[in-house]
Amino acid sequence: MKRNTLSPQTKAAQALHMLDRESGAVVPAMHSASTFARDESYEKRDGFVYSRYGSPTTTQCEQIIGALEGGESLLFNSGMSATVAVVEALPMGAHVVAQSMMYHVGLDWLNRQAARGVIGFSSFEEGDLAALEAAIQPGKTKLVWIETPANGNWAITDIAAAAKIAHAAGAILMCDSTAAPPCTTQPLALGADISFHSATKYLNGHSDLTAGVLTARQGLDIWDEIRSVRSFQGTVLPGFEAWLLIRGLRTLFVRYKQASENALTFARHFESHPAVAQVMYPGLPSHAGFEVAKQQMQGGFGGMMSLLLNGAEGRALNVAKACQVFIPATSLGGVESLIEHRRTVAGAGRGIPENLLRLSIGIEAVDDLIADLAQALERTA
Ligand SMILES: Cc1ncc(COP(=O)(O)O)c(C=O)c1O
């Protein structure tokens, strides 16, 4: 049987069937060495020299993610260091277009680089393709950066349409697909040039490491430059984290499916709750991005949603404090459910409503999650 024809779920569960070469162990060995001996002819063995350029466990993990995404992957020690490398690899003065609502630290980085004159930067309203087209400066814009579903309101951008707009202007499209891992969305197959994940989230799924991964289509001009930036900055993912990430990836499909099922049940339940003004979840027909999400998230809508609450100022924060099953922490995509008062965490002045709660629904029994939020709403009424 040809392994490359196996389904992505099988490839993930078996970690590409990477048995340990020496022992036959069904789990790949973990290598943490910083340097690699040359062979008798003073040639590199397996291409490894020094771990800042790459090492065996990290490479194995890249091969697994690359197989799921349909491209070549590079792992970084955080999501941020991965996206920083993309911006660093652009020609000096390049113009970048990104959403006005996306992961806020990425936005801070773009604004900072623009303020220093390293790049030009324009933003557009998330999900709005006409606004994207208007923000592009043909010939000058080198990178279009979308995030779908987008942090905050989980707006959906049509990746294929965004790719056409970017390419027509001579730009590349990077898609932050952190909330939609490859078991549900493959940005490269839809025309994106780079698929990006904070692997800290769904890809790992256990909230026990930080990592970022870029996967590029074949022949991307700036790919070698991105790899060089990673080597200069020393932001490659170390072996132990890569090993943990391989373990997380093996259960990606079942974790994401369970989180998606839980989230849909949860969203439907609270959509008609009197204390809830709006449930922002791309799996609900009431969400503006529902039709596109159905097309490009065929493996589930994921566990991310936001709720807008009715009631007095301060209530949302009190609800976050009153939960006993949801954990009051930032981040997303882990097996445990998290609740976050987003404005407190991301900061005021970012347009995040005071009454917004961001939820990362995990894989627990959904009835426990529903009961927990219900009691918190009751106690803060
Ligand atoms: C959508 C998204 N992109 C990027 C990042 C940055 O990733 P990291 O925290 O791994 O650096 C995050 C982190 O929360 C995120 O949610």
pLDDT at residue 304 in the model? 98
The residue extents of the domains of the chain are 3-249, 253-379
Given the CA of residue 199, which atom of ligand 1 is nearest to it?
A: 10
pLDDT at residue 89 in the model? 98
Given the CA of residue 147, which atom of ligand 1 is nearest to it?
A: 1
**Which letter does DSSP use for residue 205 in this model?**
-
pLDDT at residue 2 in the model? 79
Distance of alpha carbon 53 from its chain centroid, rounded? 23
Q: Which fold has domain 253-379?
A: Aspartate Aminotransferase, domain 1 (3.90.1150)
CA of 5 to the centre of ligand 1 (A): 32
Query: Is 257 among the residues known to form the active site?
Result: no
Residue at token pair 């792992």: 75
pLDDT at residue 4 in the model? 79
The catalytically annotated residue of 11, 142, 158, 176 is: 176
Decide: 121 in ligand 1 pocket, CB within 6 A. Answer: no
- Report residues of the chain scoring pLDDT below 50: none
Tokens of 187: 């940005």
Q: Which CATH architecture has domain 3-249?
A: 3-Layer(aba) Sandwich (3.40)
Q: For residue 91, with 0-12 CB atoms within 10 Å meaning exposed, 13-18 middle and 19 or more buried, which class applies?
A: exposed
CA of 83 to the centre of ligand 1 (A): 9
Distance of alpha carbon 25 from its chain centroid, rounded? 31
pLDDT at residue 21 in the model? 84
The catalytically annotated residue of 11, 103, 202, 372 is: 103
Query: Is 140 among the residues known to form the active site?
Result: no
Q: Which long-range contacts (CB under 8 A, 24 or more apart) does 320-325 make?
A: 320/357, 320/376, 322/375, 322/376, 322/379, 322/380, 323/372, 323/373, 323/376, 324/372, 324/375, 324/376, 325/364, 325/368, 325/369, 325/371, 325/372
156 neighbors 149 (Cβ within 8 angstroms): yes
pLDDT at residue 210 in the model? 98
Q: What is the CA radius of gyration of the chain?
A: 21
Query: Is 176 among the residues known to form the active site?
Result: yes
Decide: 122 in ligand 1 pocket, CB within 6 A. Answer: no
CA of 103 to the centre of ligand 1 (A): 6
CA of 84 to the centre of ligand 1 (A): 12
pTM: 0.98
CA of 241 to the centre of ligand 1 (A): 16
Pocket test for ligand 1, best of 81, 86, 126, 178 (most atoms within 8 A of CB): 178
pLDDT at residue 263 in the model? 99
pLDDT at residue 349 in the model? 86
pLDDT at residue 22 in the model? 87
Short-list 312, 327, 329, CA closest to 277: 312
Query: Is 42 among the residues known to form the active site?
Result: no
Pocket test for ligand 1, best of 83, 87, 99, 103 (most atoms within 8 A of CB): 103
Among protein residues, the one with the nearest Cα to ligand 1's atom 14 is: 331
pLDDT at residue 3 in the model? 78
